[in-house]
């Protein structure tokens, strides 16, 4: 199966499960549910859940094993986008090709839609009706991985440094911290939870982790490149907004950034060589991340 078909098929099962999850928000006020679903069902690429599934499948397990946890990742990622777009943060009016959540529902509801998605994500992982295929031990590990990657030690910490260093000179170390924490840790965690659900052994998990870290960093470098050279219509968000931010382009220039991106993709591909033929999809995803246009 080629990567295009794989991504298309997985996107369908992820979105169907997300719909099932949203149908469980029975006593949620209608307007809150609308605000949560509005951004959740815009045209996201679903990279993080696909990675969790691909890592799990690479270890020979069914996508069903990790699917609800993969959807929880997408809910957390979507919360981060909603909050990132707020007037007090990046003040963006376009996301996933549509007006941002706060533009449609107002700031208060956008904040709460984000809060709702973040918190419900952890309910899904701990609700055995969804995750009955996983042992309590694995569920606990998955929660630890996701909470560490999304919290103050991960994505939120990275986002705070991104805000603090907006318009400041910064340094390559600060840039590395921001990119690793703001973007790469959640991507790395996506790969790791798939591998953990696939019963990866310690040495294998180390290689999956390297893969996740490399593509996570590559993903953010590509985000920086797209902000400079991308097509707003295709990317689905406002571009050329990061001129004052700590970006690879600012610290290394466009050519060196593209070179670094290529190196990271190659490193990611090598990291999963140990899987043999079962690494095919993970390798194709790494290549896609290095050449994506949206
Ligand atoms: C500080 C108020 C406050 C909120 C924090 C934690 C957080 C909100 C934001 C996280 C930082 C963030 C949004 C990082 C950007 C990561 C990134 C490259 C997002 C774009 O992801 P894609 O391209 O988007 O996968 P789609 O729409 O395809 O899912």
Residue 146's pLDDT is 98
Best residue for ligand 1 mutational test, from 10, 39, 41, 81 (most atoms within 8 Å of Cβ): 81
- Percent of the chain whose predicted confidence (pLDDT) is above 70: 100
Give φ, ψ of 98 to 5 degrees: -135, 160
Q: What is the pLDDT of residues 19-59, one digit of tens each?
A: 999 999 999 999 999 999 999 999 999 999 999 999 999 99
Identify each DSSP E strand in 41-146 by its residue range: 94-95, 98-99
Output the CA torsion 230→231→233→238 (10° steps): 50
Best residue for ligand 1 mutational test, from 80, 98, 152, 158 (most atoms within 8 Å of Cβ): 80
Give φ, ψ of 92 to 5 degrees: -105, 150
Residue 1's pLDDT is 82
Taking domain 3-289, whether its CATH number is 1.10.286.10 is answered by: no
Rounded to whole angstroms, the Cα distance separating 262 from 267 reads: 9
Residue 23's pLDDT is 96
Output the CA torsion 248→254→258→264 (10° steps): -20
Q: What is the pLDDT of residues 70-122, one digit of tens each?
A: 999 999 999 999 999 999 999 999 999 999 999 999 999 999 999 999 999 99
Extents of the domains making up the chain:
3-289
- Token pair 């999850």 is at which residue? 21
Q: What is the pLDDT of residues 274-293, one digit of tens each?
A: 999 999 999 999 999 999 99
Of all protein residues, the one whose alpha carbon is nearest to atom 15 of ligand 1 is: 183
- Mean pLDDT in residue range 241-248: 93
Rounded to whole angstroms, the Cα distance separating 211 from 264 reads: 9
180-183 own/partner pairs: CB under 8 Å, 24+ apart: 180/213, 180/216, 180/217, 181/153, 181/154, 181/155, 181/157, 182/155, 182/158, 182/220, 183/155, 183/158, 183/216, 183/217, 183/219, 183/220, 183/223
């Amino acid at each position: 199966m080629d990567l295009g078909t794989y991504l298309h098929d997985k996107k369908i099962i992820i979105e169907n499960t997300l719909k099932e999850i949203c149908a469980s928000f029975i006593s949620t006020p209608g307007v809150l549910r609308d605000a949560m679903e509005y951004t959740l069902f815009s045209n996201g690429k679903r990279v993080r859940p696909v990675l969790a599934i691909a890592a799990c499948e690479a270890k020979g397990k069914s996508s069903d094993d990790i699917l609800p946890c993969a959807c929880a990742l997408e809910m957390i990622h979507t919360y981060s986008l909603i909050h990132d777009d707020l007037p007090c943060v990046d003040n963006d009016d376009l996301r996933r090709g549509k007006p941002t959540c706060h533009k449609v529902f107002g700031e208060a509801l956008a904040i709460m839609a984000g809060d709702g998605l973040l918190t419900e994500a952890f309910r899904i992982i701990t609700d055995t009706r969804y995750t009955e295929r996983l042992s309590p031990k694995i569920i606990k590990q998955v929660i630890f991985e996701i909470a560490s990657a999304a919290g103050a030690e991960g994505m939120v910490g990275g986002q705070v440094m991104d805000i603090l260093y907006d318009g400041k000179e910064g340094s390559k170390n600060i840039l590395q911290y921001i990119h690793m924490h703001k973007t790469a840790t959640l991507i790395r965690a996506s790969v790791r939870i798939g591998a953990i659900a696939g019963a990866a052994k310690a040495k294998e998990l180390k290689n999956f982790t390297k893969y996740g870290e490399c593509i996570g960093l590559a993903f953010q470098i590509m985000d920086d490149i797209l902000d400079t050279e991308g097509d707003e219509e295709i990317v689905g968000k406002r571009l050329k907004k990061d001129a004052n931010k700590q970006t690879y382009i600012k610290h290394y220039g466009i050519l060196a950034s593209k070179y670094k991106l290529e190196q990271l993709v190659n490193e990611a591909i090598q990291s999963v060589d140990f899987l043999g033929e079962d690494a095919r999809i993970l390798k194709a995803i790494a290549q896609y991340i290095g050449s994506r246009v949206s």
